[in-house]
Structure 1
């Protein structure tokens, strides 16, 4: 049983394709989606695999740290990875870390003013608050009503109206205090510290819109990126047979989150994590593992498919 959980946010630097396989619909390779809502998601197994790969790359470079000490030696870092994420082969023990599905939090939509807006909805925010409760976090915002915008919003083209894609929305709750508090919380918690994200922290404080659940569902179903992929036959100069297909992506600037779950290390030999216990703190397995994730999580990782074409690069922000 997992003892603690902490949120991990992902900000798409390039379009992201987390595929669900071939489909009979309009798009040949659609995104993974929740069955009951239709909202895009990324399976927890995919999140775990990508993060494990990123940690293995750091281990191969001798950059993994436990308790402030670098892990030396290939055997030691492989053992640490196996204890944290689980062994790749066999069933000697379970991994001490778990990852939930990455859920969509903010979806970027083209706007007549301000270039683009981030949209979300009460259903998404209620679920975020509920899952933050699992992390023993008390966010200092209440869920705003539908059709709300924060103070200082730059998206209005006339009085209290905004245009997203080709649709006009009336903002019934202009300068809404709950939406303003939400925008400030997102600015502080979602985006990493540092000047490189300063512009985006400022933008999310002003250019976020809380739409109705139905309007949000329509945007995340109809306003994703769809690219046509081809392969040219070198002999004929035409499209190779079976190599003309369409692929769906979450757009750049989309924001998702997953929960990292921390449990006990299921092995009597805790390897390098013993020194994590000795470096201070309570010495509990879940707290040592939190230090392991916080100290080694790369700023940028690759999620989903099409890595060779630069897709799926995301910024990470692990919150304790």
Structure 2
């Protein structure tokens, strides 16, 4: 079995919903229960890529993604590809210098290094401190992210900055090499939960021109310029792995994940 890593860099706010909620947010995004980091389920990734493959008229869609029976005589079978959930790799934050920062933490980097097989060092960060790249570092050495100020713990590791900025051929991500910030785990958890966007929506009655009663609601979205990664696996030993992953790894693709695709 061969595996590969799928990298996702959001260009617009992303809503992969967890369903209705009784909390302050009517339609929250899906999160890991223990870290509160937003995720994209593997089933969502598989569905999106299957739809993309159909649009591109790829011949062996059912071999790649599986076959659902259409009658009693028909037999179902699994596809040759399996998709893990997309985990958070870097989260964008407002910065007093440099407009924005892409924040990560030791826990996120450790999980990514494990899944990718990397041997880069991962520095530990004390509470109230941050390893920062040049573009977001104030003259005092501090960094101001959202409403919080962090003391300098040092420079963001150059090997990690080079690797993360080179994951995709994207202009913003390449420029973000000078915007990375390494925060304590607890701080990234806080920001990933409380610094997402909340958008308000309503539905207009065509006859009255006013809002329908009970039709005002809000939706949580993960900001644009959020970086995710997802492990992908080939499941069948007879499969040509290079041809299998080649359908999706030849170049970057622009695809629609999550809901609210027309807004």
Structure 2-normalised TM-score?
0.91
What is the aligned counterpart of 2:63 among 75, 78, 83?
83
**8 A Cα contact 1:84 1:95, kept in partner:** yes
CA apart distance, 1:293: 3.0
Distance 1:42 1:97 in 2: 17
SS at match of 2:214: strand
Kindly indicate whether the alpha-carbon contact (under 8 Å) linking 1:107 and 1:255 is maintained by their aligned counterparts in 2. yes
After the TM superposition, list the runs of 4 or more consecutive aligned residues in structure 1 that deviate by more than 6 angstroms. Answer: none
Where does 1:302-317 land on structure 2 (aligned, <5 Å)?
302-309=256-263
- State the distance in 1 between where 2:77 and 2:113 align: 33
Partner of 1:272: none
Aligned partners of 2:119 and 2:106: how far apart in 1? 16
Q: Is the 8 A contact 1:27 1:247 kept in 2?
A: yes
CA distance, structure 2, for counterparts of residue 286 and residue 244 of structure 1: 48
Cα distance, 1:236 vs structure 2 = 2.1
Q: What residue in structure 2 maps to residue 141 of structure 1? A: 120
Residue 101 of structure 2 contacts residue 180 of structure 2 at CA under 8 Å; is this kept in 1? yes
TM-superposed deviation, 1:288: 2.9
- Where 1:235 maps in the other structure, the secondary structure is coil
Measured after TM superposition, the shift of residue 292 of structure 1 is 3.0
Secondary structure at 2:212's aligned position in 1? strand
Cα deviation digits, residues 18-52 of structure 1 (max 9, x gap): 00000111100000000111110011000110011
Mapped pair 1:169 → 2:150: yes
Task: Give deviations 1:129-177, integer Å, cap 9, x for gaps.
Answer: 11113xxxxx362223224435x612122322110111111121x225x
Cα pair 2:14 2:221 within 8 Å, conserved: yes
Shift of 1:241: 2.4
Measured in 2, the distance between the counterparts of 1:92 and 1:106 equals: 38
Aligned residues of 1:103 and 1:256 also touching (Cα < 8 A): yes
What corresponds to 2:173 in structure 1?
A: 200
Query: Match for 1:191 among 132, 156, 168?
Result: 168
Taking the aligned partners of 2:44 and 2:173, their CA distance within structure 1 comes to: 27
Secondary structure of the corresponding residue to residue 28 of structure 1: coil
Cα distance change of structure 1 residues 111 and 284 upon mapping to structure 2, 3 Å threshold: same
User: Unaligned 5+ residue runs, structure 1?
Assistant: 65-76, 134-138, 266-282, 310-320
Structure 2 residue corresponding to 1:97, chosen from 77, 81, 105: 81
Decide whether the 8 Å contact of 2:197 with 2:223 is kept in 1.
yes
Q: What's 2:140 paired with?
A: 159
Relative to total residues, which structure has the larger helix share, 1 or 2?
A: 1
TM norm structure 1: 0.76
Tell me the equivalent position of 1:258: 230
SS of equivalent residue, structure 1 residue 251: coil
CA RMSD of aligned residues (A): 1.8
Aligned to 1:124, the other structure's residue is in SS state helix
Contact 1:183 1:208 in 2 (8 A): yes
Q: Is the Cα contact below 8 Å between 2:109 and 2:122 reproduced in 1?
A: yes
**What count of residue pairs does the alignment treat as equivalent?**
256
| Partners of 2:69 and 2:49 in 1: CA distance | 18
